[in-house]
């Protein structure tokens, strides 16, 4: 099977993971009221195969729910397999290859989407009074959530009024009633910027929401690309082929043609509804919701036997970490390298719930820059915290490239052994921060700053020469010839 097809069509993606034994077809009747979510959470936490629920109590006949679409696997050789398939990559792909693919796509020209006149997402249509989102198996994800979330693994589609900017962006959507939903449109996010453009013209924002879209498009929608960069063209650059799109029912918006479900309508200029609380990506369950913009749903189109994919946010790793964190990593690497810094890898450790990024620095290049540790930290902070990605992730860990920053054990090791408590934990209290960071105080939230930090794990002598001691490990303590011999004979030893 062509893996690129899996990146462009969720149903092909599911066929591939089913053939690999990485999809569980759940035919037992399950309840959308917490049961689906509880099963999915256990799948994340035990790193098991993705569940596809096809017998859901009270749901529209044929409707299905997919859990853990980008969850991790317990098999260390294949742990990133489901994530890698979102990009059309083989199941043994490692993080560096993922980031390098995403980074390379940034250097290529956009591959504009291919417009089609008919599409699978148009097989069924609800308009006007027919619209009833409650017929879909919209799950209650956590016991203390403020409502049912229809959009946890989907993306917004909006366009600037002049038609020059098409934005696809990840966002959550809570069901209000059969034809209204609500969710955040922060002014610092692209959907908020475009909504502001329409509001200044006195018009509600034409809007669509994609559920079960091309896996590669979901990944790109979660990437902090710069403003005015259109995601559809970047999806094509990423997979080397244009994504098929079709005109929406009610506007000139173009949506992925083979999506499972397309919700259409407009974002109200002034109306709001209570949204949340919700169990969040940082692993905490909030107790209070917040008024958010109201989205009026005026049409729904969907495939036969539609699949609603979900992310059950909480302790990592789940899709907020595997998808969002991976895309952020590539953007950080691009931003820092573009600024001329000697950085060769960036990684949002999944275990840190997208609250820190680790950066690997080429210490040979660093040693000729003639900078003190503090001056280098300030230089990196000035660049990082003024990017979209750096705004989202409040802590930056800097280390030498003698460790694998995608290995959380090695990251913990350098944090414990190389960061000096008095000089290497550097706070930047005046830097604007992302308001969803869980440890922010009420004072931080009021002033919009206060939670950002750089942690330097590069020892002082590495700024001018070699490290004081080498790493004692299999990788660093033995000759290459012996390591190859040991690996070649591993099974003979009895392992």
Positions marked active-site:
280
Q: How far apart are CA 181 and CA 294, in angstroms?
A: 6
Task: Tell me if 221 is assigned to a ligand binding site.
Answer: yes
The token pair that represents 101 in the structure block: 């693919």
Task: Tell me if 77 is assigned to a ligand binding site.
Answer: no
Task: Tell me if 189 is assigned to a ligand binding site.
Answer: yes
Task: Tell me if 231 is assigned to a ligand binding site.
Answer: yes
- The owner of tokens 């917490």 is 34
Task: Tell me if 79 is assigned to a ligand binding site.
Answer: no
The token pair that represents 30 in the structure block: 């399950």
Task: Tell me if 278 is assigned to a ligand binding site.
Answer: no
For 281-322, give the DSSP string: TTS-B-S--EEEEEEEEEEEEE-SS-EEE----SSSSSHHHH
For 317-339, give the DSSP string: SSHHHHTHHHHHHHHHHHHHHHT
Comparing C-alpha atoms, which of 316, 282, 299, 273 is closest to residue 122? Answer: 299
Q: How far apart are CA 98 and CA 323, in angstroms?
A: 11
Cα–chain center distance at 9: 18
Q: How far apart are CA 101 and CA 323, in angstroms?
A: 14
Q: How far apart are CA 461 and CA 244, in angstroms?
A: 53
Q: How far apart are CA 233 and CA 47, in angstroms?
A: 33
Beta strands in 33-159 (DSSP E): 50-53, 64-66, 114-115, 124-127, 149-151, 154-159
Q: How far apart are CA 45 and CA 26, in angstroms?
A: 18
Which residues are documented as binding site for Mn(2+)?
190, 231
Q: What are the binding residues for prenylated FMN?
A: 172, 189-190, 231, 388
Positions at the binding site: 168, 172, 189-190, 221, 223, 231, 388
* Binding site feature residues for K(+): 168, 221, 223, 231
């Amino acid at each position: 099977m062509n893996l690129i097809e899996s990146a462009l069509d969720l149903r092909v993606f599911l066929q591939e993971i089913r053939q690999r034994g990485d999809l569980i077809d759940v035919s037992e009747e399950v309840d959308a009221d917490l049961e689906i979510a509880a099963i999915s959470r256990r799948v994340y936490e035990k790193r098991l195969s993705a569940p596809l629920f096809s017998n859901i109590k009270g749901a529209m006949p044929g409707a299905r729910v997919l859990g853990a679409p980008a969850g991790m696997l317990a098999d260390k050789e294949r742990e990133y397999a489901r994530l890698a398939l979102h990009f059309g990559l083989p199941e043994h792909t490692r993080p560096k290859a993922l980031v390098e693919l995403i980074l390379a796509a940034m250097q290529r020209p956009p591959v504009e989407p291919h417009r089609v006149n008919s599409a699978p997402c148009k097989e069924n249509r609800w308009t006007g009074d027919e619209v009833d989102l409650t017929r879909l198996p919209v799950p209650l994800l956590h016991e203390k959530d403020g409502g049912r979330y229809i959009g946890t693994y989907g993306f917004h589609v909006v366009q600037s009024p002049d038609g020059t900017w098409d934005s696809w962006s990840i966002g959550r959507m809570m069901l209000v009633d059969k034809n209204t939903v609500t969710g955040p449109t922060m002014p610092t996010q692209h959907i908020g910027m475009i909504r502001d453009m329409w509001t200044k013209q006195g018009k509600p924002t034409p809007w669509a929401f994609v559920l079960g879209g091309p896996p590669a498009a979901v990944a790109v929608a979660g990437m902090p690309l710069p403003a005015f960069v259109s995601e559809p063209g970047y999806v094509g650059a990423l997979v080397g082929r244009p994504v098929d799109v079709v005109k929406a029912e009610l506007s000139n918006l173009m949506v992925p043609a083979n999506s499972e479900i397309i919700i259409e309508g407009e974002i109200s200029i002034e109306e709001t509804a209570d949204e949340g609380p919700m169990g969040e990506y940082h692993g905490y369950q909030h107790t209070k919701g917040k008024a958010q913009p109201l989205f009026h749903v005026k049409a729904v189109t969907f495939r036969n036997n539609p699949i609603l994919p979900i992310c059950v946010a909480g302790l990592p790793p789940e899709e907020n970490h595997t998808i969002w964190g991976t895309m952020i990593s590539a953007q950080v690497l691009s931003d820092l390298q573009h600024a001329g810094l000697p950085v060769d890898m960036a990684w949002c450790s999944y275990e840190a719930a997208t609250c820190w990024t680790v950066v690997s620095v080429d210490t040979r290049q660093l040693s000729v820059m003639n900078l003190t540790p503090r001056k280098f930290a300030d230089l990196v902070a000035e660049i990082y915290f003024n990017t979209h990605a750096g705004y989202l992730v409040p802590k930056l860990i800097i280390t030498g490239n003698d460790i694998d920053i995608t290995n959380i054990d090695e990251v913990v090791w350098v944090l414990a052994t190389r960061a000096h408590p008095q000089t290497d934990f550097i706070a930047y209290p005046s830097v604007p921060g992302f308001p969803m960071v869980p440890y922010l105080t009420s004072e931080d939230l009021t002033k919009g700053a206060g939670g950002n930090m750089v942690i330097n794990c590069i020892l002082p002598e590495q700024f001018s020469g070699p490290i004081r001691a080498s790493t004692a490990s299999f990788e660093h303590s033995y000759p290459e010839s012996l390591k190859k011999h040991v690996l070649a004979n591993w099974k003979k030893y009895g392992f």
